[in-house]
């Protein structure tokens, strides 16, 4: 991996040049007490002081709502306007943390599992991720418990790590990343000799994820799911903020003889998520839905896709209105009796 250094005074100049090269630039923006990824029109809008954005960056490849195609019926015939990948813009996401960059791997696993999902894969091809290592964390972060780290480069195209208040170590991870740097090479300098580990936040390891995965594979009938989900309201906030959740619904937005077929985020925590038209719901209770959420992330996905459905960003626990704390629940699952 190629290493460089960029002085803080050159960072905004580089990002401005990247934006002015015809790409959309998404970056963290602080507004009304929250920081979220937004498309910026000026690099002066970018905010870098947060531990974690409220929403993840996944919307750049899996938007909250997306038109799949449009149709119109006229005089007995139907015209179809299909999904047009050529209309998708090239996008650079700046300032996401390693847990968000790593989450594009499980998303890619789900959207490429049995058949390639065209909207997702076409967007991913046009997205470049310029991540920022974490120099601070909070009590909800647990990336180090699920195989990540505050300086994990896996999933990023470029990873920046603050060396001091003066500048950043630049790890160029992929060819996509290289193509953002090469045209502006004059802004970059030779990398200094630094110990990257000493520049990162200390994120405590809270449980053994291998042990959790071994235990829950046998815990389908356990009463632990009822106990843990007793206060869950099924609001879906945890799924909507999660960088690795991929549940979606497909809806018609029609008026008269014309309309759009859209897909929108959904959640396996919603009571109606698996309701059949017969009236039967195979996951009729909140404990069954909680079990599905955890088994999907920590058993089904590792087995089917060789990737975990959680990168330890902690957003679900920060967002939960009834203080369900995922790392605490995983810690409990680590120590349950295998047949309890
Ligand atoms: S955010 Fe909390 S209450 Fe809402 S569905 Fe998730 S775990 Fe349940
Ligand atoms: S399950 Fe929670 S901690 Fe894990 S990636 Fe999703 S939001 Fe983050």
Q: Which of 243, 268, 325, when mutated, tests ligand 2's pocket best, judged by the most ligand atoms within 8 Å of its CB?
A: 243
Question: pLDDT value at position 1?
Answer: 86
DSSP assignment letter at 183:
G
Query: Looking at ligand 2, which atom is closest to the CA of residue 146?
Result: 4
**Nearest bound ligand to the CA of residue 233:** 1
Residue with tokens 């090239």: 90
Tell me if 314 is assigned to some domain. Answer: yes
Tell me if 242 is assigned to some domain. Answer: yes
190-223: b (≥16 Cβ within 10 Å) or e: eeeeeebeebbbebeebbebeebbebbeebeebe
- The Cα 206–Cα 329 span in angstroms is 11
Query: Looking at ligand 1, which atom is closest to the CA of residue 319?
Result: 1
Confidence of residue 225 (pLDDT cuts 50, 70, 90): very high
* d(CA 265, ligand 2 centre) in Å: 16
**Domain carrying residue 54:** 2-334
Tell me if 223 is assigned to some domain. Answer: yes
> Per the structure, how many domains does the chain have?
1
- The Cα 329–Cα 164 span in angstroms is 36
User: How is residue 169 written in tokens?
Assistant: 């170590």
Question: pLDDT value at position 340?
Answer: 42
Per-residue pLDDT at 53 exceeds 80: yes
For 258-298, write each residue's pLDDT tens digit: 999 999 999 999 999 999 999 999 999 999 999 999 999 99
Give alpha helix (H) positions in 112-257.
118-125, 175-181, 209-216, 224-229, 237-241
Give the residue, by CA position, lying nearest to ligand 1 atom 2: 320
**Nearest bound ligand to the CA of residue 311:** 2
User: How is residue 232 written in tokens?
Assistant: 């869950």
- Smallest CA-to-CA distance from 235 within 300, 323, 157 is with 323
* d(CA 55, ligand 2 centre) in Å: 11
Question: pLDDT value at position 291?
Answer: 97
Tell me if 239 is assigned to some domain. Answer: yes
For 136-153, write each residue's pLDDT tens digit: 999 999 999 999 999 999
Give the residue, by CA position, lying nearest to ligand 2 atom 4: 310
pTM above 0.85, yes or no: yes
Per-residue pLDDT at 338 exceeds 60: no
- The Cα 23–Cα 311 span in angstroms is 28
Confidence of residue 17 (pLDDT cuts 50, 70, 90): very high
Residue 136: which region, alpha, beta or left (left: phi > 0; alpha: psi -120 to 50)? beta
Angle of CA points 265, 203, 316, to nearest 5°: 20
For 75-123, write each residue's pLDDT tens digit: 889 999 998 888 899 999 999 999 999 999 999 999 999 899 999 999 9
3-class secondary-structure state, position 254? strand
Question: pLDDT value at position 21?
Answer: 92
Tell me if 340 is assigned to some domain. Answer: no
- Environment class of 317 (CB within 10 Å of its CB; exposed 0-12, middle 13-18, buried 19+): buried
Per-residue pLDDT at 54 exceeds 60: yes
Confidence of residue 336 (pLDDT cuts 50, 70, 90): confident
Tell me if 339 is assigned to some domain. Answer: no
- Smallest CA-to-CA distance from 266 within 232, 289, 282, 284 is with 289
Q: Is the dihedral of CA 184, 187, 191, 195 positive or negative?
A: negative
- The Cα 29–Cα 13 span in angstroms is 18
Please give the share of the chain, as a percent, with pLDDT higher than 70: 99
For 190-204, write each residue's pLDDT tens digit: 999 999 999 999 999
3-class secondary-structure state, position 160? strand
* d(CA 271, ligand 2 centre) in Å: 20
* d(CA 105, ligand 2 centre) in Å: 14
Per-residue pLDDT at 339 exceeds 70: no
Tell me if 276 is assigned to some domain. Answer: yes
Contact 4, 170 (CB under 8 A): yes
């Amino acid at each position: 991996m190629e290493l460089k250094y960029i002085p803080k005074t050159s960072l905004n100049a580089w990002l401005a040049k990247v934006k002015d090269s015809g790409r959309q630039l998404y970056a963290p923006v602080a507004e009304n007490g929250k920081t979220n990824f937004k498309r910026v029109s000026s690099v002066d809008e970018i905010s870098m002081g947060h531990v974690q954005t409220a929403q993840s960056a996944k919307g750049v490849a899996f938007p909250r709502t997306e038109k799949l195609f449009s149709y119109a019926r006229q005089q007995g015939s139907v015209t179809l306007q299909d999904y047009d990948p050529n209309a998708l813009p090239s996008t650079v996401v700046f300032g996401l943390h390693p847990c968000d960059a790593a989450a594009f791997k499980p998303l890619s696993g789900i959207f490429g599992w049995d058949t390639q999902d065209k909207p997702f894969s076409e967007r991913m091809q046009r997205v470049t991720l310029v991540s920022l290592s974490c120099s601070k964390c909070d009590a909800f972060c647990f990336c180090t418990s699920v195989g990540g780290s505050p300086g994990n480069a896996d999933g990023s195209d470029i990873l920046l790590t603050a060396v001091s208040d003066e500048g950043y170590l630049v790890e160029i991870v992929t060819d996509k990343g290289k193509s953002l740097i090469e045209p502006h090479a004059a802004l970059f300098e030779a990398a200094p000799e630094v110990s990257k580990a000493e520049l990162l936040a200390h994120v405590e390891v809270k449980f053994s994820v291998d042990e959790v995965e071994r235990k829950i594979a046998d815990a389908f009938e356990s009463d632990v799911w009822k106990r843990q989900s007793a206060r869950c309201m099924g609001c879906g906030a945890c799924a909507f903020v999660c960088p690795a959740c991929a549940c979606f619904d497909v809806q018609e937005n029609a008026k008269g003889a014309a309309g759009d077929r859209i897909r929108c985020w959904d959640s396996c925590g919603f009571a109606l998520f698996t309701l059949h038209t017969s009236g039967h719901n195979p996951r009729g209770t909140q404990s069954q839905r909680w079990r599905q959420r955890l088994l999907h992330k920590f058993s089904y996905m590792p087995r089917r896709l060789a990737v975990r459905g959680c990168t330890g960003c902690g957003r679900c626990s920060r967002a939960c209105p009834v203080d369900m704390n995922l790392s605490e629940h995983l810690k409990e699952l680590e120590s349950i009796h295998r047949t309890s």
